[in-house]
Amino acid sequence: MIISTFLPFLMKKIYSTLVITLFALAIATATQPRKVLVIGIDGARFDALQTAKTPNIDALLENAFYTFDSWHLDITVSGPSWSSIMTGVYHQKHGVTNNSYSGSNYFDYPYFPTRAKEYKPNLYCVQIAEWAPMSDDVYNDGWNLKLKVPDGQGGPTENAAVTQLANPNLDVLFVYFDAVDLAGHASGFNPSNPAYISAIEKTDGHLGGVLNALYSRPNYANEDWLILITTDHGGIGTGHGGNSNQERHIWWIASGNNISPRKLENRPDPGSYQISGVNQPLRRQSPVQADIAVTALHHLLYDLNFKPDTVKAWNLDGISWLDSIYATSPTRELSNSIGISSYPIPAHTGLVFDFNRSLEAVTHFELLDLSGRICRQEDLLSGSTRFEMSVANLEKGMYLARFNSEKGSAVLKVVVD
């Protein structure tokens, strides 16, 4: 089904060994234990997050695949939203429509740690949550430990996370902060509201403490941590739950030592199950809430060589972005000179390549099938921002799209269906 790998390349001459190299790198990183840290900040609007002074999140973004153009596809309320984030499915499946959690169906659609443990039962997974229902009303969630911390305080949450991160056996940690949402309800989800901005800034401080503890793990250099951060909804006035852009426009961050830095901008709104449905091709242009669980799951189960979103029994709504954001070589500088994404995934009739910045040199494009045969090639002019091609005549399957110029190179996996 999926997905594009953006793989900047050092040795641009060794075209024929490309595929082999990809697999070799995958094996190399597989020796590092893969771990996941999810940080949830309740009710943080995308624009307020950018307005506030958040040095810790900013530092993380230098190493992150992220967007301030993620869209909420469902009920913009905490209970349903965190359920989507942690299960990888929307309310039609997980059943939560309000904060009483009535109607929940976590037996059929559990939190992602439960799914991960179907394959790796020894994973050690911990949740630290300020909001009581996340501990008390959720079940079949796979946590070995659910820690409750005082609501809206941040400090104890940070301290609890620091303690947990000192445990070398920790595999999954979910840390949840509530202060921003409380401030929004009290006086407005609003970049001009000082109480709201302050709550974001203070939460950023605690987040910094959590990250420091992560980086201080004795074995950190030999671990492969995927850090996922998001919010459950925005807000308008002192509430949320509706479909306004202020409530639906959110943000999504994936960071880690092996993540290719990239910022997705101006992503279109794919719509919402709460309005007239979700446009699936558009929805794949930018990560959404349900993708947190699926990407995390993919990371945890990466060595098993399958993608969670392909498992029929799990029936997930989210997709994994791991392949397209995962870098295995230290050439991240290049990705700042050419950033390419492709859509739709999979491609049916046409394939679009978007360049984050216009090309700085004439760039040679080749599309190869997995046997290394060149199916299409073209020279792209300097200054191009976009390249479209038809896939009508191509066989279904996976291909590699290679871009090469004197400024750098890139390889993307594309799927034709």
Partner 1 sequence: MRILLLALILFCSFSHIKAQQGGVRGTVLNSLNEQLPGATLHFELLKMRTVTELDGRFLMTGLPSGPQKLVVRCLGFADLEQIVQVPAEGMLDLGMLVLQDNAATLGGVTVSGKLTTGSEFKANNLMKSSNSYLTVISAETMEKLPDRNIAEIVRRSAGVAMQRSYGEGSLINLRGTPVDWTSVTLNGDRLPVADENDPRRVFQFEVMPSDLLSYVTINRTITPDLEGDNIGGVVNFLNRSSVDRNTMKLSMGLGYSALAGKPIGSGSALLGFVNKSKTLSAVINGSYFGRNWAEHAYELEYESPFNHGISELKLKQYDGFRQTTGLNAALEFKPNNKLTLGAVFIMGLNVNDKYQYRTNYNWSEGSGSRVRLHNLHGKLRSRFLGANLNMNYRISDRLQTKFKLASYDNKFEYGNVPYSQNDPRNGYFSVVYISPLLQFYDRDFIDLYGNPAEADDPNAFLTKLIGKDNPYGRGDHYRNVQPRYGKFVDGSPLTPADFSFYQAISELNTTHEQDPIVVQNDWTYTLNSHLKLIGGLKYRYKIGGRELSVHKWQVDFQNFPTKPRLLTQSKTNYPDPDDNFLAELGTPYSGTFMPFLTHDQLNNFIQPLGDTLRNIPMNKLNQEYVLWAGSKYQYTEHATAAYAMTEAKLGKHVSLVGGVRFEHTRLYQTSDTLSPVAILDTASSTYFYPPLERTTDQAYLAILPSLNLTWSPRPFDNIRFAVSRTFHRPNFAETKPGFANISYEDLDFTFGNAQLRPTYSVNFDLAWEHFWGNKGMVSIGTYYKYVTDHIFLKTTEEYDPIQDIGFKRYVNAETSYVLGLEFTINRRFETLPGFLSGFGVNTNLALSLSRMQVPGRPSEQAMSGQTPLLYNLGIFYEKYGITTRVALNYTGPFLKELNLASIVPIGGTKPELVHKGTDFDLYQDQFYSLDLSVGYLFNAHFSLFVEVSNLLDAPSTEYVGVRERPHRTGYYRQRGQLVAKYAF
Beta strand 125-129 with 172-177: parallel, antiparallel or unpaired?
parallel
Q: Per-residue contact track with partner 1, 47 to 86, x per CB under 8 A?
A: x---------------------------xxxxx-------
Selection from partner 1, Zn ion, none that 12 binds (CB < 5 to 8 A by kind) is none
Return the residues of window 303-362 that contact partner 1 according to CB under 8 A. Answer: none
Task: For the CB of residue 82, give the shortest distance to Zn ion in the complex, in Å.
Answer: 7
Q: Which amino acid is at 167?
A: N
Residue 22's CB is within 10 A of a number of other CB atoms, namely 15
Q: Per-residue contact track with partner 1, 6 to 45, x per CB under 8 A?
A: ---------------------------------------x
Q: How far apart are CA 87 and CA 77, in angstroms?
A: 15
Task: For the CB of residue 192, give the shortest distance to partner 1 in the complex, in Å.
Answer: 4
The residue among 39 and 411 lying less far from partner 1, judged by its C-beta, is 39
From the number of C-beta atoms within 10 Å of its C-beta (0-12, 13-18, 19+), residue 73 rates as buried
110 contacts partner 1 (rule: CB under 8 A): no
239 contacts partner 1 (rule: CB under 8 A): yes
Find how far residue 14's CA is from the centre of its chain: 31
Residue 352's CB is within 10 A of a number of other CB atoms, namely 14
Selection from partner 1, Zn ion, none that 232 binds (CB < 5 to 8 A by kind) is Zn ion
Return the residues of window 116-155 that contact partner 1 according to CB under 8 A. Answer: 130-132, 136-139, 145-155
Q: Give the residue, chosen from 192, 305, 371, 393, that forms a contact with partner 1 under the rule CB under 8 A.
A: 192
Q: Using an 8 Å Cβ cutoff, are 322 and 335 in contact?
A: no
Please count the residues of this chain forming the interface with partner 1, following the rule CB under 8 A.
Answer: 72
Q: Give the residue, chosen from 63, 274, 320, 404, that forms a contact with partner 1 under the rule CB under 8 A.
A: 274
Q: Give the residue, chosen from 32, 237, 311, 398, that forms a contact with partner 1 under the rule CB under 8 A.
A: 237
Angle value at C-alpha 218, between 212 and 219, nearest 5 degrees: 110
181 contacts Zn ion (rule: CB under 5 A): yes
403 contacts partner 1 (rule: CB under 8 A): no
Beta strand 64-71 with 340-343: parallel, antiparallel or unpaired?
unpaired
Return the residues of window 15-54 that contact Zn ion according to CB under 5 A. Answer: 42-43
Helix (H) or strand (E) holding 414: strand 408-416
Helix (H) or strand (E) holding 399: strand 397-405
From the number of C-beta atoms within 10 Å of its C-beta (0-12, 13-18, 19+), residue 50 rates as middle
Task: For the CB of residue 291, give the shortest distance to partner 1 in the complex, in Å.
Answer: 23
* Of 263, 280, 261, residue with least CA distance to 272: 280
Task: For the CB of residue 233, give the shortest distance to partner 1 in the complex, in Å.
Answer: 9
The residue among 158 and 232 lying less far from Zn ion, judged by its C-beta, is 232
* Of 44, 70, 93, residue with least CA distance to 316: 93
The residues binding Zn ion (CB under 5 A) are 42-43, 78, 181, 232
